[in-house]
Amino acid sequence: MTLPSGLPTLHPMSSFRFLHAADLHLDSPLRGLQRYDGLPLERIRGATRGALDNLVNLAIDRRVDFLVIAGDLYDGTWKDAGTGLYMARALGRLVEAGIRVYILQGNHDAASLISRDVPLPPGVQRFSTTKPETFRLDDLQVALHGQGFESRQVVSDMTPAYPPPVPGWFNIGVLHTSLGGYSAHETYAPCAPETLFAKGYDYWALGHVHERMEFGSGPYIVFPGVLQGRHIHESGPKGATLVTVENGRIAHLDHCPCDVLRWAELAIDCAGMTSESALHDAISTRLASACNEALGDRLLVARLTLGGATSLDARLRLRASGVRDSVLEIAQMLPGTPAIEKVEIRTTPPPKVLSEGETEGMADIRALIAQALADPLLVEEARSELAPLLNTLSSIDMTDAPEDALALARADEWARLLTEATHALDARLGITGDDA
């Protein structure tokens, strides 16, 4: 997306640093992870709290002047008051360190009634949910403009009501929004980047989109992303954005990881492999590399996808549980002991050469399978059989749905699932490349 770059506003007296975070989702519940043996569930459950602690430590260590949290501090209704008390204690540490905090309610915060009853420590300001509100930091010549969510469903652009910038000051807009819309997130307070640029602010601190995104170079429009990845689709470094302002201009934008565990999707190319020992060596090497990339004492939680054409295909499919056990054993022997969320077998058999031992019946089955997969109506028929389920899925918030449910809602998944079923049937019937 090509966006205009406006001229930066000059504020000769303004030099400071602030942190921009969003989507903390404190105590977010696990979804579907109990299905996978060997995962350190308690450590995963506590990850959002660890990331919050890291955010507080980062703010104190970098001596920032203030922290902005652009929505979704929580994850909806709490199981108990401990969630709110943990947040209050964390924010209290910032106040004790002389760091001001400005928070805005997002769609998940609006859904939580308990969070509204927890008193905030003095020095923590919360934006109004009834109309845009401006907080002025006179000593820094900074004005923060924002409005939180009063209800979870906000389908209109909130920015037209935001006030004009304070002349001669550094102006920050705070907003929880889907911006132009992203398939992985529901639409909330939609707006266009061009509209935000036209507002005349120096920086837009956004929340809601869990991937880090940055638009423009003066003013900047920034999604810091989720503070701690909560499942495999929130992989890679997660954290907050440190903004350094020198003489009224943004000098640096630095992404600072705060996550205590890191999710990783690791592809293992099995093409041409003929022995399981070669496969185990490849898995060990890839896991060790990913652990090094995670850095520090972070826990790596990995999903391995085995792909490529290999004569091991049938053997892997027939003993899928044994493959997972082998991967778990390999992980236990590595420094850092990475956790394994899932092992997907998406290998294919090598090109088939008919052997003398292959029966005419097997050849007929293979021909029928090939014919079925070539028929585009087959995929549609499969989808229509599950239409009631798909309609139900499409009517609910799928942001945090288990991955298997998300897959059912994607049309392109059906062709893949049918192909996977074909490979599995091949393995059962002994129609494999290594029969040749």
* Dihedral class, residue 168 (left if φ above 0, else alpha if ψ from -120 to 50, else beta): left
For the chain, give the number of residues. Answer: 436
Task: Look at the alpha carbons of 378, 380, 383, 388 in this order and tell me if their dihedral is positive or negative.
Answer: negative
Residue 289 backbone dihedrals phi, psi, to 5 degrees: -65, -45
Phi, psi of 239 (to 5 degrees): 175, -140
CATH 3.50.50.60 given to domain 16-257: no
- Tell me the per-residue pLDDT of 292-336, one tens digit each, with 9 for 90 and over: 988 888 999 999 999 999 999 999 999 898 999 999 999 999 998
**pLDDT given for residue 84 in this prediction:** 87
Span 38-52, average pLDDT: 92
Average confidence (pLDDT) over 103-132: 77
CB 72 within 8 A of CB 24: yes
Question: Residues spanned by CATH 3.60.21.10 within the chain?
Answer: 16-257
At 293, list the tokens. Answer: 């990339």
Query: Pick from 315, 343, 318: which is nearest to 329 by CA?
Result: 343
- Confidence check: pLDDT of 105 > 80: yes
Place 185 in a pLDDT band, splitting at 50, 70 and 90: low
Q: Quickly state the pLDDT bin for 123 (edges 50, 70, 90).
A: confident
Prediction pTM value: 0.79
How many Cβ atoms sit within 10 Å of the Cβ of residue 295? 10
Q: Which two tokens stand for residue 60?
A: 């104190």
Mean pLDDT of the chain: 82
Residues 333-390: tens digit of each pLDDT: 999 899 999 999 999 999 876 555 555 555 566 666 665 655 666 666 666 666 666 5
